[in-house]
Amino acid sequence: MKIDKEVLSRAITEKEASEFVESHPEVKAWIRKKGMKTTHNYVRNLMRYLEILEKNGIAKEPTDLYNLAKEDNDYGTKHVEVLEEFQEDCEDVQGVEGRIFNISVSVKSFYSFKGKNYQFPKSRGNYEYKNKKTKHLPKLEDVVPYIDSIPYLRNKTIVAMETCFPVRLESLTFLKWKHFKEVLENKELPHVFLISGEMKGKGQGLYAGINQHSFLTPFAKDYVLRWKAEYEVLTGKKIDLSNPQSLEEPFLISLKGKGKGEQLSYGALNNCFDRLKTEKYPFTLHVWRTFVNTALEDAGIEKKYRDIIIGHKPEDAVEDAYSDKSIERLGTFFRGAIKFLDPTYKIDENAKKVQSWLKEFKHIEVNEQEARELVDKVLLKFLGSKE
């Protein structure tokens, strides 16, 4: 979510606030019995929150906020997820901590007024200043023990995938086996991507035209293949490249109950991640986006390429950002970041020796991927001479 600091900090006049209240009966009913000071603050906080969501193509009117709480005419927790994403993305903006807290209180009050079906689950959507510094973000060494602690291979696969292809919760519901075609083709570094209509907001508003492109590390690829084997046993359906129809099957399905074998809904996915949080590993789905972005930054990848992997609006024109040439270049950069993303990564000793030799005797510096390619060329030339 893009956060505009000016929206959060701008002054809202009494006239603006009054017109907003008069234009929205649900807001008027909400603040009817509140004191003047509370009304003054709550209305402005709600207006700022809505303005941020509108800029991100999520919601525009107060009624849109209530509609977020429903998924396929059933009550869910999407409204909770949106507020928590807002809170986390605001943390990258300096000097707005107090505003985040106040907006969070106001938004939760607005939902509580609507009724129990709209109220936030206990401990969800809270924001405290002290949590900003102590927030537990996953480290590379956390990945394996965290995944080992997770029940069900399906859930383990989601997290393994998020460590390199950080898909938003809403987009997870769009995933089909066709998205993992290059995994089924056993490509060494499978390219995975979502098109605009499969992104948050279904390609509307600020998400219009935005794609998300990344690659799966060997660690994530292995989990996808293991999940495929279990999936075929659970459903009795074979996922096969020679059968295009099978690739249209949902990637994530319910494991039990009446809906066994059916595509997981947004609400079910959200509840799943709620249950995965523990005191030792209090990870939300959204923190993996931070994990990936930090790893890519550590690998020296430019922001404009990080944005493509994270699924943010690209700096370049869409036709340039998502061109074949750009994605090929992205793959090269991604290879250099694997050691920051894959917890099972092992240093290629031969490549390391080549790097050291070139630096010492030729005064040439190459990265690990370039060194690996040199090793491969030498081996191919050697083997070719033996034929």
Q: pLDDT of 58-82, one tens digit each?
A: 888 999 888 888 765 667 778 888 8
pLDDT at 129 over 60: no
- Looking at residue 244, its pLDDT comes to 95
Q: Within a 13 Å sphere around the CA of 188, how many CA atoms are in the beta-carbon half?
A: 5
pLDDT at residue 121, as a whole number:
79
Report the distance separating Cα 383 and Cα 378, nearest Å.
Answer: 9
pLDDT value of position 240:
95
Mean pLDDT of 199-224: 85
Q: How confident is the model at residue 128 (pLDDT cuts 50, 70, 90)?
A: low
Q: Please tell me the total number of residues recorded for the chain in this structure.
A: 387
Encoding tokens for residue 59? 């919601």
**Each residue of 130-154: pLDDT tens digit?**
444 445 789 999 999 999 999 999 9
**pLDDT recorded at residue 74:** 67
Compute how many other C-beta atoms are within 10 angstroms of the C-beta atom of residue 217: 27
pLDDT at 122 over 90: no
pLDDT recorded at residue 145: 95
HSE toward the beta carbon, residue 267, CA cutoff 13 A: 10
Closest CA to 331 of 301, 351, 352: 301
Q: Could you read off the pLDDT of 323-382 as tens digits, one per residue?
A: 999 999 999 999 999 999 999 987 666 767 777 878 878 788 877 667 767 766 776 676
**All residues at 6 or more sequence positions from 95 whose CB lies less than 8 Å from its CB, including other chains:** 5
For residues 236-241, give the mean pLDDT.
Answer: 95
What is the reported pLDDT for 135?
Answer: 55
Average pLDDT, the chain: 85
| pLDDT value at 162 more than 90 | yes
